[in-house]
Amino acid sequence: MLCQKLLETIKNPPIFARSNIETIGSRFSLFYQIDFINFYLYKFFLKSMETILKYFKPDEKQIDLLTRGLGCHRILSSLLIARGVIDIEDARFFLNPNFNNLIDPFMIKDMDKGVQRIFTAIKNREKILVFGDFDADGVTSTALLSEFLEHCNANISWYIPHRIKEGHSLQSDHIQMAVNQDIDLLITVDCGVTSHDAVKKAKLEDIDIIITDHHEPYGGLPESLAVINPKREDCDSGLEQLAGVGVVFFLVMALRKFLRDKDFWEEIPEPNLTNYLDLFVIGTIGDMVPLIHENRILCVAGIKKIRQGSRLGLQSIAKSCRLDFKKIDSDDISFKIVPRINAAGRISHARICVSQLINTDIVGAEKTASLLDQLNVKRQKIEQEIVKEIENKILDNPELLQKKILFLWDDKWNPSVLGIAASKLSKKYSCPVILLSSAHENAVGSGRSVNSINIFQALQKNQSLLIKFGGHAMACGLTIIKENLAKLYENLNQYLEETFSEHDFQKTRFIDAVLDIEDINYSLAREIDQLRPFGIANPEPLFLCKNIKVKSSYLIAGRHRKMVLENADSSNSNQVEAFHFNINDPDNMPDFYPQIAFKLKIDKFKKNSAQIIIEQL
């Protein structure tokens, strides 16, 4: 219907276009008309997805109360209120979190069972295998638990499956591998909550399984010795926002206390758990879980730990990224460190990264960091090619955007990078995206969602069509027989149409405050920086300025614009340094902006300076 309406509006295309069509031979005129119509359909759909700006309007009395109580800028008070922080003491704790209010790890269901069994395995020198996932969360989880157990002189080994050859989570074949290695206790990290068949086989082979995971359980819980997962329906810990590495950290907290009560640390120095928080923050930020409550407390401490440079593997990765590890922040972790760790699992093997994170040899660490850098470049190229190919598909068939989900598959696609491609496309088109590689008998792929649309629940409604699937509200992985692909596409689209309204698909950005350019300075940037680390549930503030003049500018690498901005209405205006990355049209750069949306940051390269990053809306 929408296509038909648009076709009616462009029956008479612009003169330049119509004359071009008329001058072409009749054999080609239909092709050019279709191409022209598709182009306008594509542009029409993009326009219909324009971002809606919503403005936060806090209560002025609440702002006054926080501003006086904290002695801070009114903008910081407003930002705290936007995050639900209204009480002065809560605000102080949010800005300066400490470990005093951490939830007792034994509140997590089955924690006591798991800790008791691990203690027995340590004491009796049983063979323990830590089994992890191949992303940043799984890699850091594996490194953290292995490092702690090695400190306890446990008989420990670890294993990360190959992403393509073995797939996600614990499989029956892995149990046979454990049998061959005489493993007594297998502990999963960041996986295992849906590994029912593998757990059953382990029981037959007399191998105890402890599952630590944070993914959504479905089909009941595996019959393992312990399932330590805060997302269990019968778990009241309040820690369901933890990433896999968070669950492991709480396991280590509980295990250290249990061992203390058993006088275990009389002969071995009791470890300082803050030494593991650098791993915690990388896995937590990498898995895009909410950065509030326990996650915020431990991430703040984790970033401080990274800046100490005590972990050679991380220091080497930071050096390869040309980062000053003493100034690393959540952005650097999200966009520089995590992609390099993930690249190993996507292009080569994630075990490279576990070795890197526990490496104590500086030469080896630097060599591996260089390799990770190369793998990340290769990953970027593959991903860009897939995204470009999909963009061309959409340009040729804009009707794809009429569906509630962008669902595509191809024999040539590398399944390892489809999650990243899906993430980029879901953000651009503001709809769930599932991409699959159909090179073999079964199609394997990844999905990403937007807003409040739960893609995991959508797959649950169609699990009869799937071989296996997993994930959470915003991300999923799935395996399906190729013959079921079209049916799954149809069912998912129907489910989304019936369950969600147009509002749920609307691309929306929240403006935290409208600033005058005179308000932008280092002092304000420093106060806002106290809200870091930014992420899910604690997004980086977005501001708006109006009537902005470009005093000077130049291009960097042909697509990044560096500018000096000032107020167009004042001759004596404050001047602000600004960056606009990946601009759409380098040949048509305005010297005046009616309004700009931007993020305010501390300039890492100039002392006591602020800069703004203009957002592409």
215-247 residue pLDDT tens: 989 889 999 999 999 999 999 999 999 999 999
The answer on pLDDT for 13 being more than 60 is no
443: confidence class by pLDDT, cuts 50, 70, 90: very high
Report how far residue 170's alpha carbon sits from residue 126's, in angstroms, rounded to the nearest whole number.
20
The answer on pLDDT for 318 being more than 90 is yes
The answer on pLDDT for 104 being more than 90 is yes
20: confidence class by pLDDT, cuts 50, 70, 90: very low
The answer on pLDDT for 536 being more than 60 is yes
Per-residue burial over 242-259, b = 16 or more CB atoms within 10 Å of its CB, e = otherwise: bbbbbbbbbbbbbbbebb
Mean pLDDT, range 91-113, rounded to an integer: 96
Which are the contacts of 283, defined by CB distance < 8 A and separation ≥ 6? 136, 137, 138, 139, 140, 141, 144, 190, 243, 244, 245, 246
The pairing of strands 52-55 and 508-511 is: parallel
- Please provide the distance, in angstroms rounded to a whole number, between the alpha carbons at the two ends of the chain: 28
pLDDT at 189: 98
The answer on pLDDT for 366 being more than 90 is yes
Contacts 24+ apart (CB under 8 A), 98-101: 98/297, 99/297, 99/301, 101/297
Mean pLDDT, range 352-378, rounded to an integer: 94
Residue pair 577/330 in contact by the 8 Å Cβ criterion: no
The answer on pLDDT for 48 being more than 60 is no
pLDDT at 530: 95
Contacts 24+ apart (CB under 8 A), 315-323: 315/365, 316/356, 316/362, 316/365, 316/366, 316/368, 316/369, 317/341, 317/356, 317/369, 317/372, 319/366, 319/369, 320/366, 320/369, 320/370, 320/372, 320/373, 321/373
555-594 residue pLDDT tens: 998 889 999 999 988 777 789 999 999 888 888 889 999 9
Mean pLDDT, range 168-195, rounded to an integer: 96
250: confidence class by pLDDT, cuts 50, 70, 90: very high
Q: Exposed, middle or buried: residue 176 (CB in 10 Å: 0-12, 13-18, 19+)?
A: middle
pLDDT at 127: 98
The answer on pLDDT for 551 being more than 60 is yes
pLDDT at 43: 52
The answer on pLDDT for 106 being more than 70 is yes
The answer on pLDDT for 4 being more than 70 is no
pLDDT at 8: 46
51: confidence class by pLDDT, cuts 50, 70, 90: confident
The answer on pLDDT for 22 being more than 80 is no
Q: Tell me how far the alpha carbon of residue 241 is from its chain's centroid.
A: 13
Would you tell me how many other CB atoms lie within 10 Å of the CB of residue 552?
11
Report how far residue 376's alpha carbon sits from residue 334's, in angstroms, rounded to the nearest whole number.
14
pLDDT at 36: 53
pLDDT at 40: 53
25: confidence class by pLDDT, cuts 50, 70, 90: very low
pLDDT at 412: 95
Mean pLDDT, range 103-128, rounded to an integer: 98
387-430 residue pLDDT tens: 999 999 999 999 999 999 999 999 999 999 999 999 999 999 99
Report how far residue 421's alpha carbon sits from residue 416's, in angstroms, rounded to the nearest whole number.
10
Mean pLDDT, range 440-453, rounded to an integer: 93
18-22, 361-365, 590-594: range with lowest mean pLDDT: 18-22
Mean pLDDT, range 319-335, rounded to an integer: 92
Report how far residue 555's alpha carbon sits from residue 284's, in angstroms, rounded to the nearest whole number.
35
**CA proximity to 256, closest of 278, 273, 239:** 273
**CA proximity to 160, closest of 189, 121, 181:** 189
pLDDT at 16: 35
The answer on pLDDT for 24 being more than 50 is no
pLDDT at 41: 53
What's the whole-model pTM score?
0.88
∠ Cα 438 443 446 (to 5°): 105
3-state helix, strand, coil in the chain (%, to 5): 50, 20, 35
pLDDT at 45: 54
Structure-model confidence comparison of residues 533 and 616, the more confident one: 533
